[in-house]
Amino acid sequence: MKKKTLVVVESPTKAKTIEKYLGNKKYTVMASMGHLRDLPKSQFGIDVENDFAPKYINIRGKGDLIKSLKKEAKKSEKVYLASDPDREGEAIAWHLSHILGIDEHEKCRIVFNEITKPAIQEAVKNPKEINIDRVDAQQARRMLDRIVGYKLSPLLWKKIRKGLSAGRVQSVTVKLICDREKEIQKFESEEYWTVDFKFKKKPRSSMFGAELVAIDDKKLMVSAKKEDVKIASKAQADELCSDIEKVTFKVTEIKKRQRHRKAPAPFTTSSLQQDAARKLGFTSRKTMMIAQQLYEGISLGKKGPTGLITYMRTDSTRISEIALNEARNYIEENFGKEYLPEKPYIYAAGKSSQDAHEAVRPTNIALSPATVEEYLSKEQLKLYKLIWQRFLGCQMLPASYDVMSVTIKGDKYLAKATGSQLKFAGFTAVYNDSDNKKEKDVILPDLQEGDELSIQKLEAMQHFTEPPARYNDASLVKTLEERGIGRPSTYAPIIETILARGYVVRSDKKFEPTDLGFVVVDLLEKYFKDIVDEKFTADLENKLDEIAVGKIQKNTLLEEFYGPFEKTLEHAEEEIGEVEVPDEVSDVQCELCGRMMVIKQGRYGKFLACPGFPECRNTKPILKDTGVKCPKCGGKIIERRTRRGVVFYGCENYPQCDYVSWDMPLTSNCKTCGSFLFRHRFKNGRTILYCSNDDCATRKEDTPINKEINKLKEKIQQQTAKKLAELAQKEAQAQEENENKEHKEENKA
- SS3 sequence of 170-203: HHHHHHHHHHHHHHHHHCCCCEEEEEEEEEECCC
pLDDT of residue 259: 93
pLDDT of residue 394: 95
Q: How many residues does the chain have?
A: 749
User: Residue 681 and residue 688: Cα distance in Å, rounded?
Assistant: 7
User: Residue 353 and residue 545: Cα distance in Å, rounded?
Assistant: 10
pLDDT of residue 328: 94
Secondary structure letter of residue 257 according to DSSP: E
CA-wise closest residue to 496 among 476, 515, 482, 516: 476
pLDDT of residue 375: 94
Series of mean pLDDT values for 10-residue runs along the chain (749 residues): 84 87 87 90 90 91 92 91 90 93 90 88 91 93 90 84 78 94 91 92 85 92 72 91 94 94 93 92 92 91 89 88 92 94 84 68 94 94 96 95 95 94 93 67 88 92 89 93 85 90 85 89 88 88 90 92 89 80 79 88 74 87 84 87 72 84 86 85 70 80 71 67 64 67 59
Q: Calculate the alpha carbon distances from 102 to 68, 73, 80, 99, 171 in Å.
A: 16, 10, 10, 8, 39
Residue 29 Rama label (left phi>0; alpha psi -120 to 50; beta): beta
Residue 115 contacts residue 17 (beta carbons within 8 Å): yes
Mapped to the 3 state alphabet, what secondary structure does 50-69 carry?
A: CCCEECCEECCCCHHHHHHH
Q: Which residues are catalytic?
A: 311
Residue 561 contacts residue 555 (beta carbons within 8 Å): no
Kind and range of the H or E element at 700? Answer: helix 697-700
DSSP string, 591-660: TTT-PEEEEEEETTEEEEE-TTTTT---EEE--EEEEEE-TTTS-EEEEEE-TT--EEEEETTTTT---E
pLDDT of residue 354: 54
User: Residue 389 and residue 119: Cα distance in Å, rounded?
Assistant: 23
Phi, psi of 64 (to 5 degrees): -65, -40
CA-wise closest residue to 432 among 477, 479, 385, 472: 385
User: Residue 317 and residue 344: Cα distance in Å, rounded?
Assistant: 13
Kind and range of the H or E element at 254? Answer: strand 249-261
pLDDT of residue 739: 63
Q: Calculate the alpha carbon distances from 223 to 210, 414, 507 in Å.
A: 21, 19, 29
pLDDT of residue 583: 73
Q: pTM for the whole thing?
A: 0.75
pLDDT of residue 4: 87
Helices 87-99 and 63-74: crossing angle in degrees, nearest 10, is 70
Q: In what order do the strands lie in the sheet with 687-691?
A: 664-669, 676-681, 687-691
CA-wise closest residue to 234 among 539, 460, 533, 1: 460
User: Residue 412 and residue 244: Cα distance in Å, rounded?
Assistant: 9
Secondary structure letter of residue 267 according to DSSP: B
pLDDT of residue 356: 61
